[in-house]
Amino acid sequence: MNTSAAAASAPNPTAALRMLAYSSLGLVMFFLPVEIAGKTTILFDHAATWLATQQRPLAIAFVLALMAWGAASPFISGRWRASTTATVFSALKVLGLVLALMYLTGTGPAVLFQKDMLPFLFDKLALTVGLIVPLGAVALAFLVGFGLLELVGVLMQPVMRPIWRTPGHSAIDAVASFVGSYSVGLLITNRVYLEGKYTAREAAIIATGFSTVSAAFMIIVAKTLNLMGAWNFYFWSTFVIAFAVTAITAWIPPISRMDNSGGVSDTLPVGRSRWQAAWDAGMHQARSAPSLWRVLSENLRDGIAMASAVVPTILAVGLIGLLLARYTPVFDLLGLLLVPFVWIAGLAEPMLTAKALASGLAEMFLPAIQLKGADPVVRYVAAVVSVSSVLFFSGSIPCVLATRIPLSLRQMVAVWFVRTVLSLLMAAAIGHFALAQGWIA
């Protein structure tokens, strides 16, 4: 046994207690749904909901401060000059702040105040993300700061690497996204990428493949499309389809062509079993991690920085996308590209269905709104594709662009199209079978 392995495996009750106690707390906060006031979700989501509803003036003031800082910081630091994309998104952050002030003061054209425009974007997305990301960042300290990430990473390596081309610890990202939200998943991904534990390609696979909307939002989609009677079937089939699609997109362009240098080694230490190596890795991190208060403060700082970049962009990009979807033929034209696949899938009204699914690029909830009166298979496909496509302009795309993950807008749109086509075909096949079996109606 080499010296480092021997040191890692030496008994250290303090480090073991630190890893087990803090990691257990992180698992509870991220993965244990709790019912409070009739709503079942994870703890810090409950905290965000309480702030947004019971302390609304305070929550709005906090989110406005985040947006003001997010809008000002690129110009203070000079980052707005870095590239054309940086310039555009710096301007969009300013626009987002202006839109928030317009909404809160009731100033502006009536079209902006329709319930699925600024009220939806601010109350359901911007306010929620602005609260969840900083709270999630604090909870994240317990989940990834004291050895659990490293322990799970070694154990899950034989599963994650050959199928999804990602290291084992990406399994935590995947589950956190499904239970929490894409903003939380991307917060984890960005943090781990900056620590050098993901390559650019691995981070891109996770950001575009695992960072879906939360299970809680899936309930809203299922209710809208009248699928709550088949909730378990819908949830688990969507989970399988989303991860199956990711297993394909990880091996094809544009993601397959991204830089894959760096990251973590898959090689086990000489003379150590996988479990022993996993325990060693976790213990090493538990011993070497800074104090809890330092980790908490660093994570809170990162969460506030990410939220300040994301929230104003969500308002601006989301509103532009929703206006384009409603008043222009942009997404109708995009839908034409999906018509052949909808026809192959045997779905009713191919043109209408294709256009509705294409509108999911603007906001993932739009297909559910437009297809809520369709036949059962189309409704099921819309529910699955809304989640499995992952990327949309009113939420996840601005979140990705706020990270350091080197994904361009063009790459994300390409990934969205591939994911939408694959999800559509898989969901249609399963939907037809489920209808024949009487699982959906």
pLDDT at 216: 59
pLDDT at 1: 44
Question: What pTM was estimated for this model as a whole?
Answer: 0.72
CB 347 within 8 A of CB 340: no
Q: Pick from 59, 64, 62: which is nearest to 101 by CA?
A: 64
CB 417 within 8 A of CB 357: no
CB 331 within 8 A of CB 420: no
pLDDT at 3: 47
pLDDT at 2: 47
For the chain (length 441 residues), average pLDDT per consecutive 10?
48 82 84 75 77 89 94 91 83 94 93 89 83 81 80 82 85 67 78 89 92 71 84 88 94 94 78 85 85 87 83 85 84 91 94 92 83 92 94 82 88 95 97 94 79
d(CA 367, CA 365): 6
d(CA 328, CA 362): 12
